[in-house]
Amino acid sequence: MIREFGPDEIAYLVFAARWTILLTAASLVFGSIIGLALAILRIMPFRPANLLALAYVNLIQGTPLLGQLFVFFFGLSILGLDVGAWPAAVTAFSLYAGAFLAEIWRGSLQSVPKTQWEASASLALTYVQRLRYVIVPQALRISLPPTVGFVVQLVKNTSLAALIGFVELTRAGQIINAATYAPLKVYLTVAAIYFVICFSLSMASQRLERKLHVAR
């Protein structure tokens, strides 16, 4: 029986959007840990660490995200590991986010003037202390706009999780469309919800940039 697209269907889509937000948040948390570690490895004066981090970044950035999702969801089952849609999606998106955030943050760290490194070294600070107290606070301001831009892309890329059966916003739209046969209404609503999420991130970023006096 075909249903009419109405308030209940819209509420279902809005409710499903929480999984899009949760998936983005979880991936961002784990991806940030990976990205920060890789960014530091990339700028360390230790060649093997540089090459190891670079190999990871090239591997993840050089392969499609959808393929990475399929590896964790379908590929691991060949090894006898039964991985659900949620852990597979979080793992794939975290590794993906880590690779891109690493390059964003590496560029931000390296854009801090060399004189700042030299000045902090002259104060007898250790390498970790230089990063913590001098370099990272300055790099944070530089990295904020591109980081938020990537997070907006990450929100939209979570729609790929629908292909492994994870019911986030896009998958919920497919389910509602199958029940209502109203693709225009359904996907316009889905697009509007994505817009609200991404626009809210952009506005929050702009306020934070003004607070931190980020140069444009």
Integer Cα distance of 114 and 44 in angstroms: 14
Residue pair 93/27 in contact (Cβ under 8 Å)? The answer is: yes
User: Each residue of 147-167: pLDDT tens digit?
Assistant: 999 999 999 999 999 999 999
Model pLDDT, residue 216: 43
User: Each residue of 71-125: pLDDT tens digit?
Assistant: 999 988 777 788 899 999 999 999 999 999 999 999 998 888 888 877 887 887 8
User: Each residue of 20-55: pLDDT tens digit?
Assistant: 999 999 999 999 999 999 999 998 888 999 999 999
Domains annotated on the chain, with CATH = 7-212 (1.10.3720.10)
The residue count of the chain comes to: 216
Q: Could you count the other beta carbons within 10 Å of the beta carbon of residue 19? A: 19
- Outline where DSSP puts E strands in 1-127: none
Residue pair 120/135 in contact (Cβ under 8 Å)? The answer is: yes
User: Each residue of 130-152: pLDDT tens digit?
Assistant: 888 888 888 888 898 899 999 99
pLDDT greater than 80 at residue 215:
no
Mean pLDDT, all residues of the chain: 91
Q: Could you count the other beta carbons within 10 Å of the beta carbon of residue 78? A: 7
Integer Cα distance of 42 and 167 in angstroms: 36
